[in-house]
Amino acid sequence: MPSSALKTKRPIRIMPPELQNQIAAGEVVERPASVLKELMENSLDAGATSIDISIDQGGQGLIEILDNGWGMTPDELELALTRHATSKVTNIRELATIDSFGFRGEALPSIASVSRLTLTSIAQGEDEGFEVEVDAGRVVSRGPAALRSGTRLTVRDLFVSIPARLKFLKTPATEARRCQEAFFRLALTRLDVHLSFTSGGRKVFTFQADEPLPKRLAQAWPPAVTDALQPFDYRQDNYRIHGVAGGPQAAQGRGDRILLYVNGRPVQDKMLLRAVRDAYSGRLLSREYPQAVVFAEIPSQELDVNVHPAKNEVRFRNESAVFSAVRRAILSALEQTGPAAEYSRHAPSFDRNGSFDRGMPNPLGANSSNASQPFLGTRIGVSPGSDFQRRGECELPLDLRPRDTQTDEHWLKADAVASQPAGPSISQAPNAPAFSGPELYLGQLAETYLILRGEDGTLSLIDQHAAHERVLYHSFEQTGQRGDSQPLVSPLQLTLHPSEATQLQELWADLKLLGFDMQTPTPDTLSVRAIPALLTASRAKEYLRAAVSGQAKDIRGLWAMMSCKAAIKAGQSLALDEALSLLATWRGTPDRDYCPHGRPVRVSWSLGDLERLFKRKA
Ligand code: ADP
Ligand code: MG
């Protein structure tokens, strides 16, 4: 209990209106972005076909909004600033079928109580406008004012009178980004309205009236994302679910590109979010998020919109029906992208013919003497004599044992499979099986999986790409991967989408740490003079594209992407020493059972499993 509470009894009193509003503001006005949202909703509710918004200092210094809606008379203007005054509902039945954003009559008085607000408006058909100025909830001036049409609202010095609130705001850049996101979310619901957003004097978005959804999305999201969007329009029962959904191949490490709407209202809803993610299940890795814009149209009698002061939550009468409709709607979009898209980011197709580049520092280190490479200087196996790397040539570890008969049988079966036309191929380890730690390395399957036999007979397949990814990731984690940069003869040039330029700024320091030497001669061009030693120039370009499109949101994401790009690929044949070296290093790596994206590295069958598979035992 707060220490000052109830030391002496005080009389009960009705709160003065400013205090009522300031307390209500605690719920409605959390930060500048929530003010922007409320004001924009009011303009849309007033029938505006054009709305211009501009902010300064992340909205904390200034939020200004100008609309061409039907405006207010001087009397209405004063009323609008009074708590529980609204033109949008008159009785509780109307609330059930409400089609305006607002209905609580709380936003304007709340905002006015925690800022310096000027409200200017002219009602349709009037010659003169009217203006009221309010400072922390008290009217400080009122009178006629010039305005051509609609309403203009300026909100200055938000929360200056409430230091506790001010303290919770993030940097102006972060608050500006949140304002921008709030604007963008609402802008997608009203494609018929002309909208613009300016931040710190810079025009961020200009949306023309009646432009299609993809055009608006393309202003905010990079081409790598928008190109992969698939439209859908699905009906089930009385529901219509429409929008766009990104192909799994364009999934990203950030979850903020899933935008959900119910009857045109932006909502945050866990159930809807689960329905979207559920549709992608099996197509995405655990830390990947799809992009989707989902408009759910639900009969209003099946909905309760009055469950949250900021009105960004709703309640559904039949949750499971909505869940299933949304899930199926997304699935209908995904079916069009086809199963081929699944996992394509990790699939061999990325680098069919090749290998990590031989001219480059070899991440396996097998033919290289560069001890700074993650694979070098690692002892393989358990025997002190098994360190072939230092001996240079591919000599076998001393403790190699000849294959036993069981293994021969194994190879026989495997060969039989390999000889079938479309069957997987098994390439035998060049110098017969070799021990990798306590396990016997039997060879490579389909130039992708390393086959191991454990001492107890356990059969394991190791995904070579995933294993190498894990090893590289761990080495980045340990060293921070500083330096190791290689200069380019001719700099790489990339043209940047505005959203990519923003993302680049956020990742700039981390990318430098990884070894990129970059310049931006103009805001929308990136020139790269040096790249990490682990990448080729073309890989580096792909890497940067993916990074600025939002695939990685921090240094860990960048490491994971770098590991993926630099790791040996599926479909690449490995020499015995390479395979053993990889296995040995992988064995000494923490979290080795999963790759940085969360895919399994190893799949095993114990003898018991095999017996069950062959129905030798139940
Ligand atoms: P609500 O939107 O829930 O009704 P608000 O406090 O946001 O409550 O607004 C109060 C009233 O002020 C609205 O019902 C509306 O009549 C009027 N109003 C607010 N903004 C505008 C605007 N931009 N144009 C015309 N009328 C407005
Ligand atoms: Mg409102």
pLDDT at 402 over 90: no
pLDDT at 123 over 90: yes
- The phi, psi pair for 303, rounded to 5°, reads -135, 140
pLDDT at 413 over 80: no
347 within some domain: no
The pLDDT score that the predictor gives to residue 147 is 95
Q: How remote is the CA of residue 426 from the centroid of ligand 2, in Å? A: 67
85 and 67 part of one domain: yes
Q: Cα torsion for 578, 580, 583, 586, to the nearest 10°?
A: -60
pLDDT (tens digit, 9 = 90+) per residue, 7-37? 788 899 988 888 888 887 777 788 999 999 9
499 and 537 part of one domain: yes
**Alpha-carbon gap, residue 562 to 533, rounded angstroms:** 11
**Alpha-carbon gap, residue 596 to 598, rounded angstroms:** 5
The pLDDT score that the predictor gives to residue 482 is 61
Closest ligand to the CA of 65:
1
76 within some domain: yes
Tell me which residue has its CA closest to atom 19 in ligand 1: 42
Nearest ligand 1 atom to alpha carbon 38:
7
The pLDDT score that the predictor gives to residue 415 is 31
Q: Indicate which CATH number applies to the domain containing 464.
A: 3.30.1540.20
pLDDT at 473 over 60: yes
**Alpha-carbon gap, residue 146 to 127, rounded angstroms:** 9
602 within some domain: yes
**According to DSSP H, which parts of 239-344 are helical?**
270-279, 319-337
The pLDDT score that the predictor gives to residue 86 is 87
555 — pLDDT class (breaks 50, 70, 90): confident
359 within some domain: no
In this structure, is the dihedral angle defined by the CA atoms of residues 353, 355, 360 and 366, taken in order, positive or negative?
A: negative
The pLDDT score that the predictor gives to residue 509 is 92
The pLDDT score that the predictor gives to residue 484 is 77
375 within some domain: no
Region 291-298: what's the mean pLDDT?
96
Q: How remote is the CA of residue 591 from the centroid of ligand 1, in Å? A: 55
Domain boundary among 342, 375, 409: 342
601 and 551 part of one domain: no
With beta carbons less than 8 A apart as the criterion, state whether 346 and 465 touch. yes
CB-based pocket (< 6 A), ligand 1: 38, 42-43, 46, 67, 69, 71-72, 80, 85-88, 102-108, 151
267 and 312 part of one domain: yes
Share of the chain above pLDDT 70, in %: 82
Region 569-575: what's the mean pLDDT?
90
The pLDDT score that the predictor gives to residue 395 is 24
Average pLDDT score over the chain: 82
pLDDT at 365 over 50: no
Q: Indicate which CATH number applies to the domain containing 492.
A: 3.30.1370.100
364 within some domain: no
Tell me which residue has its CA closest to atom 7 in ligand 1: 107
142 within some domain: yes
- What is the number of domains present in the chain? 4
**Alpha-carbon gap, residue 383 to 434, rounded angstroms:** 12
Closest ligand to the CA of 103:
1
Instruction: Pick 158 or 281 by higher pLDDT.
Output: 158
| Strand residues in 215-364 grouped as ranges (E) | 229-236, 239-246, 258-262, 265-267, 292-297, 303-304, 315-316
260 within some domain: yes
| Nearest Cα residue to 292 out of 341, 334, 339 | 334
420 and 539 part of one domain: no
250 and 115 part of one domain: no
Region 364-387: what's the mean pLDDT?
29
pLDDT (tens digit, 9 = 90+) per residue, 219-238? 999 988 999 999 999 999 89
The pLDDT score that the predictor gives to residue 259 is 97
Closest ligand to the CA of 41:
2
113 and 58 part of one domain: yes
pLDDT at 544 over 80: yes
251 — pLDDT class (breaks 50, 70, 90): confident
The pLDDT score that the predictor gives to residue 224 is 87
**Alpha-carbon gap, residue 42 to 151, rounded angstroms:** 10
- Domain region containing 459: 387-477+569-613
**Alpha-carbon gap, residue 96 to 105, rounded angstroms:** 16
pLDDT at 517 over 80: yes
User: In testing the pocket of ligand 1, which one of 86, 104, 126, 308 has its CB within 8 Å of the most ligand atoms?
Assistant: 86
Q: How remote is the CA of residue 42 from the centroid of ligand 2, in Å? A: 5
The pLDDT score that the predictor gives to residue 590 is 87
Q: How remote is the CA of residue 266 from the centroid of ligand 2, in Å? A: 14
| Nearest Cα residue to 36 out of 142, 136, 134, 115 | 115
Region 540-559: what's the mean pLDDT?
89
The pLDDT score that the predictor gives to residue 120 is 98
Q: How remote is the CA of residue 154 from the centroid of ligand 1, in Å? A: 14
pLDDT at 41 over 70: yes
Lowest mean per-residue pLDDT among 180-184, 382-386, 606-610: 382-386
Share of the chain above pLDDT 90, in %: 53
Question: What letter does residue 288 receive in the DSSP assignment?
Answer: -
The pLDDT score that the predictor gives to residue 481 is 57
With beta carbons less than 8 A apart as the criterion, state whether 127 and 150 touch. no
486 and 545 part of one domain: yes
**Alpha-carbon gap, residue 401 to 439, rounded angstroms:** 11
The pLDDT score that the predictor gives to residue 344 is 31
**Alpha-carbon gap, residue 403 to 329, rounded angstroms:** 55
Region 560-570: what's the mean pLDDT?
89
Domain boundary among 147, 177, 206: 206
Tell me which residue has its CA closest to atom 16 in ligand 1: 87
The pLDDT score that the predictor gives to residue 6 is 60
The pLDDT score that the predictor gives to residue 426 is 59
Closest ligand to the CA of 85:
1
**Alpha-carbon gap, residue 279 to 272, rounded angstroms:** 11
SS (H, E, C) 381-450: CCCHHHCCHHHCCCCCCCCCCCCCHHHHHHHHHHHHHHHCCCCCCEEECCCCCEEECCEEEEEEECCCEE
**Alpha-carbon gap, residue 442 to 440, rounded angstroms:** 6
Domain boundary among 151, 172, 206: 206
274 and 192 part of one domain: no
**Alpha-carbon gap, residue 72 to 9, rounded angstroms:** 45
Both tokens of 490, joined, read 């001719």
Region 188-207: what's the mean pLDDT?
96
304 and 228 part of one domain: yes
The pLDDT score that the predictor gives to residue 387 is 28
Nearest ligand 1 atom to alpha carbon 85:
10
Nearest ligand 1 atom to alpha carbon 101:
2
Q: Indicate which CATH number applies to the domain containing 237.
A: 3.30.230.10
Name every residue whose Cβ is closer than 8 Å to that of residue 299 and which is 6 or more positions away in sequence: 238, 239
Instruction: Report the chain's C-alpha Rg in angstroms.
Output: 31
Lowest mean per-residue pLDDT among 2-6, 268-272, 496-500, 508-512: 2-6
Q: Indicate which CATH number applies to the domain containing 200.
A: 3.30.565.10
167 and 244 part of one domain: no
232 and 139 part of one domain: no
Q: How remote is the CA of residue 28 from the centroid of ligand 1, in Å? A: 14
**Alpha-carbon gap, residue 351 to 565, rounded angstroms:** 10
With beta carbons less than 8 A apart as the criterion, state whether 456 and 602 touch. no
- Count Cβ atoms below 10 Å from residue 438 Cβ, excluding itself: 12
The pLDDT score that the predictor gives to residue 111 is 95
| Nearest Cα residue to 42 out of 122, 132, 116, 103 | 103
pLDDT at 423 over 50: no
The pLDDT score that the predictor gives to residue 548 is 92
104 — pLDDT class (breaks 50, 70, 90): confident
Both tokens of 344, joined, read 């394509």
**Alpha-carbon gap, residue 256 to 280, rounded angstroms:** 16
pLDDT at 418 over 70: no
The pLDDT score that the predictor gives to residue 204 is 95
